[in-house]
Structure 1
Amino acid sequence: MIQVQIDEEIVKELCKEKIEAVLKDVSKELVFWDRKELIRRTCISWNTIVEKFFHDPRFPKYKVGSKWYFPAEDTTRFLLKWLSEQPRG
């Protein structure tokens, strides 16, 4: 007869590490976002984006032809900074 013992805390920690690694990879999957991806990632309508921060000189954006592109990592950093600057209440 074979008996196996599993330390649940170790299993939980291994699962947590694997999930964090997968999430990190998924978030870096895209090098840049287009307008639709920016809307999806922020859950903010295009009109509100334009009104609130699109024209902020710190907001990273590039127009290629008729489409806007936003570098994923730089845009994420900007959005977190911008959000922290917003009044609460």
Structure 2
Amino acid sequence: MVKLRLKRCGRKQIYQIVAIDVQSRREGRDLRKVGFYDPIKNQTNLNVPAILYFLEKGAQPTRTVHDISKKAGVFMEFVLNYQTKFN
């Protein structure tokens, strides 16, 4: 099973948003980097097509990644893609 979670990078509080196997550690080997989050500067950079790909495959985002993605409107695109596939 795959999760979308934060992975810490650098000395400051800067995080990468990664797709990672559930059994891996937080700092373990990721499957793919799908975004970047800096809470101090309040900056977010997301690879929306990659996030949508993993969500379609059944990946579960952590609560924090879910909130970040929700602010960016990723789930609206997920719903629109889902509706166009089955209509």
Both structures adopt the same fold (TM-score exceeding 0.5): no
TM-score of the two chains, using structure 1 as the length reference: 0.25
TM-score of the two chains, using structure 2 as the length reference: 0.25
Structure with bigger strand share is 2
- Which of the pair has more CA radius of gyration? 1
